Chains A and B, each alone.
Chain A
């Protein structure tokens, strides 16, 4: 600021307007607001459980219709060996499918952005696979796939793949034309344009796709397992759910259901967190509005 040479050269612009400086330090969230952000959802959940317990007790609801929270908790503990094994299977399928969808969707989107012809050739297949309901193709996949496990994996992957592909494609395409011109002007190679311009530009779109895909992968893993309906050591939570229903073991059904919801919530939170970490510095979606 006080370097004399600098002052000489840029005298008129050198004094920084105080209003411009004010923009810089981000306003910290007030602590009370932070605590409430966590506390309110937890209190709401607690109230729901209390209401549930009270209702079951007050109206004497039989436990094979609606078990009390206590019974469900007990089932969770006593059946934990069975449930946790199923949870691991479901998690494995969901996360593996999501991982492959992530790599495949991103890779295919990049490939399609490189040439209109490749895009024209491949896009119809992606769309057909997406719009065909998963339950309808699951039986076929079950026949073709070597194991039930791999069939479930394929189903979950098919569903998770498309949001990532279509979102990333959209993001790669919506690059600012002036910035593309700028890159051309400075003689950027195709690879440089992709790496320094198109991919960062597609990042918010890709992350939105990832968040959708995370939820869909879990849903597809469950739906496909319903369709498969097979037993064995490789059964996931969905099978345990069906099984509990047949045996009228409603507390265990609820426990499995709660585990499924919790899994969904955790996947959503992780993908949202990842998205926030990547975008918090610059993207409108992750920034607090300060006017």
Chain B
């Protein structure tokens, strides 16, 4: 149970991590109009290059936190700072964020290519100019042969990969992922976990990954933030100082087991905080 920021030495971007955080949440609270307190006084510094998992029981405000970071919906109180990002004319921060939703969220009328092109298209980049980057993103997720397929012609896992390719095509600094693999079978999930780790190591992004799965969080991340529900808050912030690259040998190692046990008990403690869960 070390401080999360101390884990930076296990990430690929050691140099960046020592500097300012990429984003810092300061006392974020969110109360919905029906009175639900989804988040209470959440404070979190996210260092560049970290792979953070948000782990917590259903309804503890993980998605809400992610959406607030993405700028979708304002917090009731508290503020978010982007010390290293540019600002637009109105003084709003313009962080380079991509969001992978729990569902693939693809446009059914557009081909795989069209869906991945979308973020670039919205920035005014023509199809011709975007082609190379879109194809590169499709290569990353292994779907280069499916550029002209429509979403309905793809399996669930392939749709999710398109969604990830769409998030990667803008080369974001921060990748927000909301239980992206929750609906997939275990084999596909392992495969996508490995792909994600490889991409993260290659490109040195910062990833904030929401999951229900203790195993997934330990396998992927170098920092696990455990949340509790009602009201949603951070109750634990633990490091996973195992070296990358991680693969199946890590999955079967005793170190991995120990981390899983720690994370699991942290999660249980969080859930115990609400007796009715």
Contact = CB atoms under 8 A, between A and B. Distances in A.
Interface of A: 1, 3, 6, 9-10, 12-14, 16-17, 20, 23-24, 176, 178-179, 181-188, 192, 196-197, 200-201, 203, 281-284, 287
A20 B158 CA distance: 9
A161 B54 CA distance: 51
Contacts of B99: 181-182, 185
Contacts of A23: 153-155
B153 A24 contact: yes
Given A13-B161, A187-B122, A182 B101 contact: yes
A283 B72 contact: no
B105 A182 contact: yes
Interface stretch (B5-13, B139-147, B208-216, B253-261): B139-147
Interface string B148-183: 011111110010010000000010000000000000
Q: Which among B72, B170, B192 has the highest number of chain A CB atoms within 10 Å?
A: B72
Contact of B141 (A13, A184, A187): A13
Q: Which among A10, A12, A282, A283 has the highest number of chain B CB atoms within 10 Å?
A: A10
A287 B109 CA distance: 13
A1 B145 contact: yes
The 6 A-B residue pairs with the shortest CB-CB distance, nearest first, are: A13-B142, A10-B142, A178-B105, A200-B109, A188-B122, A282-B109
A264 B36 CA distance: 55
Contacts of B109: 200-201, 203, 281-283
Contacts of A16: 142, 145
A116 to B, nearest CB: 17
A145 to B, nearest CB: 41
B145 A186 contact: no
A176 B110 CA distance: 15
Contacts of A196: 118, 121-122
Contact of B139 (A9, A17, A192, A282): A9
Nearest to A284: B152
20 contacts: A1-B144, A6-B139, A10-B140, A10-B195, A12-B191, A13-B143, A20-B158, A24-B149, A181-B101, A182-B118, A185-B70, A200-B107, A200-B109, A201-B109, A282-B150, A282-B151, A282-B152, A283-B108, A284-B152, A287-B152
Contacts of B93: none
A190 to B, nearest CB: 12
A205 to B, nearest CB: 13
Contact of B122 (A3, A186, A200): A186
B80 to A, nearest CB: 15
Interface in B120-151: 121-123, 139-145, 149-151
Contact of B140 (A9, A192, A283): A9
Contacts, number: 91
A182 B98 CA distance: 9
A228 B10 CA distance: 85
Contacts of A283: 108-109
Interface of B: 67, 70-72, 97-99, 101, 103, 105, 107-110, 118-119, 121-123, 139-145, 149-155, 158, 161, 170, 191-192, 194-195, 198, 202
B191 A186 contact: no
Contacts of B142: 10, 12-14, 16
Given A1-B144, A13-B143, A287-B152, 19 more contacts: A1-B145, A6-B139, A6-B144, A9-B139, A10-B141, A12-B194, A13-B195, A14-B142, A16-B142, A24-B153, A181-B99, A185-B72, A186-B118, A187-B123, A196-B118, A201-B109, A282-B109, A282-B110, A284-B152
A236 B150 CA distance: 46
A185 B155 contact: no
A253 B118 CA distance: 57
Contacts of A284: 152
B135 to A, nearest CB: 10
A178 B103 contact: yes
Nearest to B121: A196
A282 B111 CA distance: 9
A3 B194 CA distance: 20
B198 A178 contact: no
Nearest to A189: B122
Contacts of B170: 186
A185 B174 CA distance: 13
Nearest to B191: A12
A187 B119 CA distance: 9
Contacts of B154: 20, 23
Contacts of B192: 13
Contacts of B153: 23-24
A178 B101 contact: yes
